[in-house]
Amino acid sequence: MTVMIERDEAAGATANRYHYTRTVEIAGRTVQARVERDFYINQSLAVAEVLNDQMTWTKLAAEAPGNWWHDTPTPRHDVHAVTVLGPLTEQLLRRAAEILAAPPTTVTVSPHVHGAISALLATSYGFDAEHRIDPDEIAWAYSHGGALHIIEHPDGSVTFTKAHRDDCPFITSAGTQDCDEDCYFEHPADAKLQLGE
């Protein structure tokens, strides 16, 4: 259902602990699942975190060590952390994806943006257009391209865009600076190929 684009992974093991961190992109957001299996249960953790606009990690979901620590082997140099902790990172990333796919509850649409949506519909589908979007299309849009940004410009124009990452200067400056040209979203067909679907 949810498309996750693999970005990075790191794993390792010592005599006292092993860890696995998997970083993916979900709906244009960078999300990591981080599992640390220590010799001691109270020094172990399993969390999913999203990279926020301030470039720090915000916790989205966690799994209490009591739910998985006892089912995992005692740390040793030769523990294969990816194999042992992989299922847990997958579960954490799935939960994070569900949280990110939930519609934000605080969005309000100004009368001006309402007018701009009317114009977007009218210019895309005709002045008397009606167009119904299914839930699948909404989920697809969340998981491909950037997050939707709506920028109201001082001259009364409104930009709707999914073409930029959240920390692009165009977005952070509310349209007063240009894109730094580092915004790139993989074509959905290529993302699928990479996942072997």
Q: Structure tokens of 92?
A: 């954490």
* C-beta closer to Zn ion: residue 84 or 168: 168
Count of residues for the chain? 197
Least CB distance to Zn ion at residue 52 (A): 18
* C-beta closer to Zn ion: residue 51 or 121: 51
Beta bridge partners of 37: 18
Stretch that binds Zn ion, among 20-28, 104-112, 145-153, 168-176 (CB under 5 A): 168-176
Note whether 164 binds Zn ion by CB under 5 A: yes
Which positions from 88 to 127 touch Zn ion by CB under 5 A, shown as an x/- string? ----------------------------------------
Note whether 179 binds Zn ion by CB under 5 A: yes
HEC readout, 96-148:
HHHHHHCCCCCCCCCHHHHHHHHHHHHHHHCCCCCCCCCHHHHHHHHHCCCCC
- Which residues of the chain form contacts with Zn ion (CB under 5 A)? 164, 168, 170, 179, 183
